[in-house]
Amino acid sequence: MILPIYTYGQSVLKKEAEEIDSSYEGLEQLIKDMYETLRKSEGVGLAAPQVGLSIRLAVIDLDIISDDQPEFKGYFRTYINPYIEETAGESVPYEEGCLSFPGIHEKVNRPSKVRVSWQDENFVEHDEWFEGFPARVLQHEIDHLDGKCFIDRMSPLRRQMNKKALNSIAVGKFSCDYKVKTAKK
């Protein structure tokens, strides 16, 4: 089932998400629904707060870009209770977008390498270093789980320059090709 993506102005996007365990009801179906939602919206990552759930769960599908970057063929990963343990490398600017902020794309500085601990869909523990694009996507999604959005990482000037677009999103005056739930009453 395709889930609506919560857009800017929804309070769930600003809350720190809670850890879950294997007893979380409906988890297997939720993960399937999140992947389906991600594919429909043509994104590369989706965190549970973006579908209205304040839990530490994110899915990443880099297969969508594998035509241009074949190293990502078959790259589908589920991250339960992920945390950034360590960062390394230089801070690199890269243009990011976010399904919760339709139409807004800005350069965001992030470390080039990141060590993440998490559990997979079978609750097997992992601890791994990521670099390049996977590191960026993971940092973006883990930010969502920590109650942060990519606009929080923009410079004050760039945020001010996007104020009109942000206000439009907050009141539901935008268009996109996927199902959303806006803050507008």
Q: Which amino acid is at 53?
A: L
Which residue, 61, 59, 39, is CA-closest to 48? 59
114: three-class secondary structure by DSSP: strand
What is 31-86 written as a DSSP string?
A: HHHHHHHHHHHT-SEEEGGGGT--BSEEEEE-GGGTTT-GGGTT-EEEEEEEEEEE
Would you put residue 12 in left (φ > 0), alpha (ψ -120 to 50) or beta? alpha
Is residue 85 flagged as an active site residue?
no
Per annotation, catalytic residue among 19, 36, 71, 141: 141
Which residues are identified as catalytic?
141
